[in-house]
Amino acid sequence: MATAEERTDPGPATAGGGRSVLVTGGAGFIGSHVAEAHLARGDRVCILDDLSTGRLGNVPRGADFARLDVADPDARDFIRSGGFEIVNHHAARIDVRASVADPAADARTNLLGLLHVLEGARLGGAERVVFVSSGGVVYGETSQSPTPETAPKRPLSPYGVSKLASELYLDFYRQVHGLRCVALRYGNIFGPRQDPGGEAGVVSIFAGRLLRGEPLAIYGDGRQLRDYLFVEDAARANLLAAEIPVAPGGGVDAHAFNVGSGTGTSVNALAEALEAIAGVRTGRRRLPARPGEVRRNVLDTGRIRKRWGWRPAFTLREGLERTFAHIAALRPPAGHATEVPA
């Protein structure tokens, strides 16, 4: 059994909270915000993470922490015996290009890991599983924009295939085991604590470059459209996903919810917005378009708005301002010594 480190006690329960929640990947970018949202609601939170890309410093105060690899059967046994009511699964290898280079490594974490999480949840009597899929990759190049949940799925990477296959596994667990499973198909989530190498790392990358006075690298013509959503809005969708009724039938798409702004923003427009917030222009570096990159990825969010009453609380500008302020605050003060090779 890998190490399980005890952190501080959870806070007092509040209305609507008081449940026992496991957040896998909770030491990472989005999972740590989801853990915070559950804690703020008065739930007890345990985080399971192997710290491969996550950081112990992201684990919020008040959460327990277990360092485990979801692809290891120990993770399944930990979940089975943990008494969790809600299992929220954010742990994943998220690098699309790495999944193309090593599809087996992607499948080990993203599929074998998912099965350990689902088995642990089923055997441990969990009430439901909230799984995080990706609206950015399951649809692939699509003629429907904004893209509804029912659009054809043509993933262009092993990472996208593993997300779609995961949703099929959820359907099996719903139908055969009666486990309540919900899939959230995220757009490009951004915000504090995002690793610049992530799926929507462009916000962190641009902010960092502006702060260092470096030009912004833009692939292709910069007119490719993406659906950017501030991380706290995504976290709020997770709280709702832990509540809504789930019936076993209906198939994969019936239990999937796009989570995005519903609006397309070009990379050029994103660069301009961040330049305005930073109050500086550092120039652009034009790079060749990346092969296989989709032109448009904008999610139709009508379903989650209508059924759950969810809508983004933050405008793009507000989210960018908060993210920029967070990254600026992390910068070493002027004159800070930088490491030089010995």
Ligand X SMILES: NC(=O)c1ccc[n+]([C@@H]2O[C@H](COP(=O)([O-])OP(=O)(O)OC[C@H]3O[C@@H](n4cnc5c(N)ncnc54)[C@H](O)[C@@H]3O)[C@@H](O)[C@H]2O)c1
Which of 49, 64, 167, 227 binds ligand X (CB under 6 A)? It is 49
Residue whose CB is less far from ligand X, 42 or 195 = 195
Which of 54, 60, 82, 222 binds ligand X (CB under 6 A)? It is 54
Q: How far is the CB of 192 from ligand X (least distance, A)?
A: 12
Residue whose CB is less far from ligand X, 13 or 313 = 313
Q: Could you tell me where the DSSP H helices lie in the chain?
A: 29-40, 73-80, 96-101, 103-107, 113-123, 158-177, 202-212, 231-241, 267-278, 302-308, 316-330
Q: Is 91 in the site for ligand X (CB under 6 A)?
A: yes
Which helix (H) or strand (E) is 134 found in, with range?
A: strand 128-134
Mark whether 186 is an active-site residue: no
Q: At what angle do helices 231-241 and 29-40 cross, to 10 degrees?
A: 60
Rounded Cα distance, 150 and 187, in Å: 16
Q: Is 189 in the site for ligand X (CB under 6 A)?
A: yes
Q: How far is the CB of 42 from ligand X (least distance, A)?
A: 23
Beta pairing partners, 87: 22, 129
Q: Is 155 in the site for ligand X (CB under 6 A)?
A: no
Q: Is 28 in the site for ligand X (CB under 6 A)?
A: yes
Q: Is 94 in the site for ligand X (CB under 6 A)?
A: yes
Q: Is 71 in the site for ligand X (CB under 6 A)?
A: yes
Rounded Cα distance, 44 and 326, in Å: 27
Which of 21, 22, 30, 114 binds ligand X (CB under 6 A)? It is 30
Q: Is 59 in the site for ligand X (CB under 6 A)?
A: no
Q: Is 2 in the site for ligand X (CB under 6 A)?
A: no
Amino acid at 165: A
Q: Is 165 in the site for ligand X (CB under 6 A)?
A: no
Rounded Cα distance, 328 and 174, in Å: 44
Q: Is 52 in the site for ligand X (CB under 6 A)?
A: yes
| Neighbour tally for 276: CB within 10 Å | 13
- The number of helix segments (H) and strand segments (E) in the chain equals 11, 15
Binding site for ligand X (CB under 6 A): 25, 27-31, 49-54, 69-71, 90-94, 109, 113, 132, 134, 136, 186, 188-189, 195, 198-200
Active site residues: 159
